[in-house]
Amino acid sequence: MQIPREILDEIALSEEEYLEIVRRLDREPNHVELGMFGALWSEHCGYKHSKLLLRNLPVESSRLMVNPGEENAGVVDIGDGLAIAMKIESHNHPSAVEPFQGAATGVGGIVRDIFAMGARPIALLNSLRFGPLEDVHNRHLFNGVVGGISWYGNCIGVPDVGGEVAFSDCYSGNPLVNAMCVGLLRSGDLVRARASGEGNILILVGSTTGRDGIHGASGLASRTFEEEREMRPTVQVGNAFMEKSLIEACLQIAAADLLVGMQDLGAAGMTSSVVEAAEKGGSGVVIDVSKVPTREQGMTPYEIMLSESQERMLLIVTPQNEKAVMDICTDWDLEAVVIGQVTDGDTITVMDGTNVEAYLPINILTDPPLYRTQSTIPDYMNTTRFLKESEVQLPTESPSSVLLRLLSSDNIASKEWIYRQYDHQVQTNTMQGPGGDAAVLRLKGTSKAIALATDTNGRYCYLDPLSGGAISVAEACRNLACVGAEPLAITDCLNFGNPERPDVYYQLESCVSGISDACKAFGIPVISGNVSLYNETRGTAIWPTPSIGALGLLEDAKLTTNTAFKDAGDIVILIGSNSLESGIESLSGSEYLEVIHNTIKGSPSIDLALETIVQDTCIKGIQAGIIKSAHDCSDGGLAVALAESCIAGNIGLVCDQGIKGRWDTALFGETQSRIVLSVSPDEIASFQELALSTGTPYVVLGIVGGERLIVNSLLNTNIAELSYVWQNAIAVHINS
């Protein structure tokens, strides 16, 4: 073979993969064909290193409307003739190169995945990771990403209702930008990404095609990159106004029942869009790139096939409906052209006028080799695994001082500085927006609401990928439980390093097992997702970070609550434990251990049986109107959860529970499966009955009231002071 190494490098294929292509085609591919293989056999499109593991994720649910992984997003039935489509996806590498456009187009891409299903996008969430804000480049990335999400989401009128942000050194230079979109549709209006029916036509609608984003999928998203600044031309530029018109036009076309199928153009552009639609439709396709409206003169077929220009959709339509579809596009001032048609074969033919530029069997393009790396336990785990009591000295500073330091840690501090830049109310469904445990959106015309949350803890996953994966799911569902919602399904975005390394592959394999274990415990499926590998800079991988997006349902939207303590005299109860005391192991991977002791050690763990009982009790208690507030204990442990409930309610708490043993583990330990509740004194008997019936351990902590958070002789701090520190930390760090 005479293929130069540089060409394979450019499209990120190995020599073995090239030889495999030649073997299967029984000839050498030409330049355009090789580019198409590079895109579709990339990790980003082909899931070469993850597909075998992803098959272990649970996908069973009576509510499922499409098979996970088969369509642009997962869809679950929520009754009343309605369904929810959702998916989370990464845009890490583009955001590292050009944070504003990288993040903006990440939002645009996930939104297209949702309305491609015929669903109205009703909510955005995100999960973000950055290096510490002390560093000027990290601040640049952070400001750019938040600005990009804000601009795009605000322009298209989809509320950004929640998310999470965390900071750690491992994300310096490799931020994580995971965007999630949720859509609502009538169950009968589901549209599939299928090109079928010989003679049906393919219509390309939306933006013109330019030279932006070529090799985005293969080059940028599927390998580590050291020379990041040279890669700026591979980042796409978004046009949110065009997206908004596309949403409306496409949903209008779908509602008029004019579609055979609909597919967005995302990673690998026209190549993946057309090939995947044909594969799902069991058909062949012929397209003519000379018909594609281009942004500049002289674009080659190769460039047109691989361009990742944004805001483009592919519609598959019968010839009879062509005019009706074109009329709607014209009404929205959108350019739409017929670029090809469905054939009865099993090949894709790419024409440039009368020249054949590519002719390939679809089943070879969509069937990349799958790899399983022999995994080995990462070396660091041999030392991080054991956390001894003698290694953690009780601080000399007071517990109140520790609490204030934790509340001003960027991982715990209020994220209002970020989310007040996002429109979280448009569409007037947002009953609870960002800042709580989970967002709550009412569904107009029904008595129902959905709850949404994203969660993961990279530090836990780094220390113990198996438990960390399970805890990520448990925390996301616990957030739903805290607003009274039953979990229905999750979507996941798996952010990892280079899977060809045995220790990274171990993290991936173990995290997926942990996610799977937790989903089985809750009886929920993973309905969609995305994998982002090769998140490394200079040979160092990020912490394994599986972002979990969770969907929950409230049958009665009125029966929900939030984290705020409400009224003086209410009784505060901790469920999930019958005492405040915790062992040293509760500090494993805790915020306290990192912030106060500069140590990242231990083995986080979770008891999934206890977790399901605790969540069940919380949900039942809220739905029965017994529980007035609920907030889970997560980063920063019990003391931070209590402080946040006091801040949210602007009211104090007096807790006179005695603590035997160490105060740091009791106040700041991160033992899982614990929720802080408040209950009116009139309902305490009902609560006790409920806890008894579900077998939930609990301990009464104290009484709501006053202006201070008092925990026996340990903590005694004014709520206004706690609030000020928590509220302003991020703004202070950004402007420092």
Partner 1 sequence: MKFGVIVFPGTWSDVDCHYAVKEVLGQEARYIWHKDEDISDIDCLIIPGGFSYGDYLRTGAIARFSPVMRQVEKFAADGGLVIGICNGFQILCESGLLPGVLIRNDHVQFRCEWVNLRVETIETPFTMSCDSGQVLSIPISHGEGNYYADNQVLDVLEKENRIVFRYCNEDGIVTEDSNPNGSLRNIAGIVNSKRNVLGMMPHPERCCESSLGGEDGKLLFESIVRAMQS
Which residues contribute to the site for partner 1 (CB under 8 A)? 150-151, 154-157, 239-242, 244-245, 248, 331-333, 419-428, 430-431, 442, 444, 557-558
Question: With b meaning 16 or more CB within 10 Å and e meaning fewer, what string describes 100-138?
Answer: bbbbbbbbbbbbbbbbbbbbbbbbbbbbbbbbebebeeb
CB atoms within 10 A of CB 388: 9
- CA-to-CA distance for 97 and 231, rounded, in angstroms? 7
Choice between 20 and 416, CB closer to partner 1: 416
Task: Give strand pairing partners of 254.
Answer: none
Is residue 91 flagged as an active site residue? yes
User: Would you call 609 exposed, middle or buried from its count of C-beta atoms within 10 A (0-12, 13-18, 19+)?
Assistant: exposed
DSSP β-ladder status, 176-186 and 486-495: unpaired
Q: In this structure, are residues 553 and 452 in contact, taking their beta carbons and an 8 Å threshold?
A: no
CB of 434 to partner 1, least distance (A): 10
- CA-to-CA distance for 315 and 325, rounded, in angstroms? 9
Per DSSP, 319 falls in state: G
- CA-to-CA distance for 60 and 47, rounded, in angstroms? 21
CB atoms within 10 A of CB 385: 14
DSSP β-ladder status, 160-167 and 120-130: parallel
Q: In this structure, are residues 353 and 25 in contact, taking their beta carbons and an 8 Å threshold?
A: no
* Three-class secondary structure of residue 574 per DSSP: strand
Choice between 155 and 711, CB closer to partner 1: 155
User: Would you call 224 exposed, middle or buried from its count of C-beta atoms within 10 A (0-12, 13-18, 19+)?
Assistant: middle
439-446: long-range contacts (C-beta < 8 A, 24 or more apart)? 439/123, 439/125, 439/161, 439/162, 440/483, 440/485, 440/554, 440/557, 440/560, 441/122, 441/123, 441/161, 442/557, 443/78, 443/80, 443/82, 443/184, 443/557, 445/80, 446/80, 446/82
Choice between 161 and 515, CB closer to partner 1: 161
Q: Which amino acid is at 241?
A: F
- Determine which one of 44, 49, 93, 733 is catalytic: 44
Q: Of 122, 255, 96, whose CA–CA distance to 180 is shortest?
A: 122
Task: Look at the chain and count its residues.
Answer: 736
Task: Give strand pairing partners of 129.
Answer: 166, 176
Tokens linked to 254: 């779908």
Choice between 157 and 625, CB closer to partner 1: 157
CB of 126 to partner 1, least distance (A): 15
- Determine which one of 49, 91, 215, 424 is catalytic: 91
Phi, psi at 614, each rounded to 5°: -65, -45
Q: Which amino acid is at 280?
A: K
Choice between 302 and 419, CB closer to partner 1: 419
Choice between 241 and 386, CB closer to partner 1: 241
Choice between 55 and 420, CB closer to partner 1: 420
Choice between 114 and 260, CB closer to partner 1: 114
Choice between 64 and 255, CB closer to partner 1: 255
Choice between 375 and 421, CB closer to partner 1: 421
Per DSSP, 231 falls in state: G
Per DSSP, 644 falls in state: H
Is residue 44 flagged as an active site residue? yes
Q: Of 646, 162, 186, 187, whose CA–CA distance to 440 is shortest?
A: 162
CB of 328 to partner 1, least distance (A): 12
Question: With b meaning 16 or more CB within 10 Å and e meaning fewer, what string describes 567-597?
Answer: eeebbbbbbbbeebbbebbbbbbbbbbbbbb
Phi, psi at 413, each rounded to 5°: -55, 160
CB of 271 to partner 1, least distance (A): 28
List, in order, residues 6 or more apart from 250 with CB less than 8 Å away: 115, 116, 205, 262, 313, 315
Choice between 148 and 514, CB closer to partner 1: 148
CB of 557 to partner 1, least distance (A): 7
Choice between 240 and 653, CB closer to partner 1: 240
Residue 651, CB-side half-sphere exposure with 13 Å CA sphere: 15
CB of 142 to partner 1, least distance (A): 13
Tell me, letter by letter, the H, E, C secondary structure of 414-454: CCHHHHCCCCCCCCCCEEECCCCCCEEEECCCCCCEEEEEE
Active-site positions? Answer: 44, 91
